[in-house]
Amino acid sequence: MPSVKVAPITIFIMLSVLFLIYSVAIYLKPLREKDHQKATIQKQAAAGKDVWQKHNCHTCHQLYGLGGYLGPDVTNVTAKPGYSDAFLKAVINNGMGLMPPFDLTNQEMEDLLVFLQSMNETGTANPQHYSPKINGTFTLND
């Protein structure tokens, strides 16, 4: 069987070129439009989580059932019918019942709403739909 001989230097050059093309493609990835948008949303959601923590929302509210129990679980609050951005802003700025008013900057409010929206996109949580089992796991009720 005839064998094709390739000089080691040729293989080296071919691998180097492939390595360069691959490296450039990887480094350009974050600059692509869609990824850039996604990164901006993630950044804003992270800033919103800081607002959430800074103003101690978790002392009264739960995310996935974890947190304080004075207020309701807000994991999916942005998906509740009638809970538009404007309504949520009004509730957070002016308070409601036992919910105290918060004096947030516009930027803090926008970040907080992006955080709550991205929280909603992670799944649904309604602790009342879960029943604990004897082995420590949960079953989902209807």
DSSP β-bridge partners for residue 67: 62
Indicate whether 99 belongs to the interface with ligand HEC (CB under 6 A): yes
CB 127 within 8 A of CB 62: yes
Q: Which of 44, 49, 75, 92 binds ligand HEC (CB under 6 A)?
A: 92
Applying CB under 6 A, which part among 13-21, 36-44, 86-94, 131-139 lies near ligand HEC? 86-94
Applying CB under 6 A, which part among 11-19, 64-72, 119-127, 131-139 lies near ligand HEC? 64-72
Applying CB under 6 A, which part among 7-15, 26-34, 37-45, 93-101 lies near ligand HEC? 93-101
Could you give the dihedral angle defined by the CA atoms of residues 69, 72, 74 and 79, in that order, rounded to the nearest 10 degrees? Answer: 160
Indicate whether 88 belongs to the interface with ligand HEC (CB under 6 A): yes
E strand spans, 7-137:
62-63, 66-67, 130-132
**Angle subtended by helix axes 106-121 and 33-54, to nearest 10:** 110
Closest CA to 88 of 42, 128, 51, 41: 51
Indicate whether 79 belongs to the interface with ligand HEC (CB under 6 A): no
* Residue 53 neighbours by CB distance under 10 Å: 10
Nearer to ligand HEC, 104 or 130 (CB): 104
- DSSP, collapsed to helix, strand or coil, labels residue 20 as helix
- Give the shortest CB-106-to-ligand HEC separation in angstroms: 14
Give the footprint of ligand HEC on this chain (CB under 6 A): 55-57, 59-61, 70-72, 74, 77, 80, 88, 91-92, 96-100, 102, 112
